[in-house]
Amino acid sequence: MLPALAAFSDLRAPDARALVEMSHKLDQGFVHFILPMIVDGIFHKAAPWLFSSSIVRMMQDPSWRFSDTQKKKRVDRGLQTAVLLALVAAAAAALRQAVRWLVGCMQAVPVV
């Protein structure tokens, strides 16, 4: 019985560690709990083939191990960050072009 218990403990240790780490993170308030759930919902709705559902749903799904959930959410956060940074960069580039165009228009109009 003791070897079986040790084998089970070794098998489940990564999941126990992941569960404790994720639970601790969720207890840290709006930035680590509510905001990620909102962002997860938006990204999952936009691209469900790429982004998983919220961490709470994944933790409630018995087909997901806690350690796999933690890994998947880390990948999701990286992809979400990359997408958001790309959108900010695109918006900044568009704003820059708009300002250049406006400055060009203002310089082309003679001042009377």
pTM of the model: 0.78
State the 10-residue block means of pLDDT for the chain, 112 residues long. 86 93 88 92 96 94 95 97 98 97 84 66
Orientation of helix 66-108 relative to helix 2-26, angle to 10°: 30
Helices (H), 47-112: 55-60, 66-108
Residue 48's SS3 state is coil
Tell me how many domains the chain contains: 1
**Domain hosting residue 40, numbered range:** 2-108
